[in-house]
Amino acid sequence: MTTLFISDLHLEAARPEVGEQFLAFLEGEARGAEALYILGDLFEYWIGDDDPDPYFAQMKSALRRVTDAGVPVFFMHGNRDFLVGEGFAADTGVRLLEDPTPVDLYGRTLLLSHGDALCTDDLAYQAVRRMTRDPQWQAAVLARSIEERRAMAREARTESAAYGSGIDPGISDVNQGAVEDLLRTHGLTTLLHGHTHRPAVHEFLLDGAPATRIVLGDWFTQGSVVRWNADGPILESLPRP
C-alpha cells in the first residue's frame, strides 16, 4: 500500500485544468491509497465553510466520495485556506491536522507542515500570518457577509501578487535554521512540506545525523505528489494530459 501527499493545488474556477486533474487523481490513484494527506493551499482562497460557490462544492463532493470509499483523507491548513473549518470536515469526511503534525509511517516518523511558518526571513509575511491565524480575527472575518469576504479575498490576492513580485526569491523560501529547530523540537530527522512551490529532496546533517526535507510542488502546470510506501518516499510530477 502507498500513502499519498499533495499540496498547493490552489483550486479555483479560473484554472479548470487543475481541478480536472485533481478530480481524476481522486477518482483514480487516490482510491487505492492507504491514506491521502493534503498539506495546505488546496484552494486559492477559502472565505468560510458557508461559501455556496458551486465549483468548491464540486471539489468537496469529490473528496467525500474518496472518504466514503474508505480512504482516510487528512487536511492541513495553508496560507490560502486557513479558514477551512469543522463544517468543511463534516461535508467531506476529511480529518483536520495541526501544523506541524508528526506521522508514523511504515516504521518511520516524519513531520508534516504546510511550510509557510518556516519562511522566517520574510518578516512582513510572518506578521500577516500571525494576524490571519488569530481566532478573534478569523471570527470577525467570518461574521461578515459572503460578498464582503469575497471582496477581502480578491484584495488579499492582489496584494499578495504585488508583494511576491517585488521581493528577493530567497526570502520567500524556508529558513534552514528554522527547519533544523523544528526537527529538533520534535526529535525527528524527516520533514515533508509544501508552500514554496520548489519541489526537491534536500539531504543535510542535523547535529551530525542524516536528515531529509522533502518539498512538494504546486499544480499550476502539472501535478506533484509524494508516494510513500514500505520502501520509502518518492517525489514525482504528475504530467497533465
Which portions of the chain are predicted below pLDDT 50?
none
The pLDDT value recorded for residue 57 is: 98
Between the alpha carbon of residue 241 and those of residues 18, 25, 159, 222, the distances in Å are 11, 12, 32, 9
pLDDT value at position 176?
98
- Give the span between the Cα atoms of 156 and 152, in whole angstroms: 6
End-to-end CA distance of the chain: 25
| 179 Cβ neighbours under 8 A, 6+ residues apart | 118, 191, 213
pLDDT at 129: 96
pLDDT at 168: 81
> Judging by DSSP bridges, how do beta strands 223-229 and 232-238 pair with one another?
antiparallel
CA atoms of 134 and 152, how far apart (whole Å)? 17
What pLDDT was estimated at residue 72?
A: 98
Residue 80: per-residue pLDDT = 96
* Structural domains present in the chain: 3-238 (3.60.21.10)
Cα→Cα distances 48→56, 67, 140, 178, 215, Å: 11, 21, 12, 30, 28
> Cβ-count burial of 44 within 10 angstroms (0-12 exposed, 13-18 middle, 19+ buried)?
middle
Query: C-alpha angle 239/240/241, rounded to 5°?
Result: 115
Residue pointed to by grid coordinates 506578521? 127
Would you state the pLDDT for residue 11? 98
pLDDT value, residue 70:
98
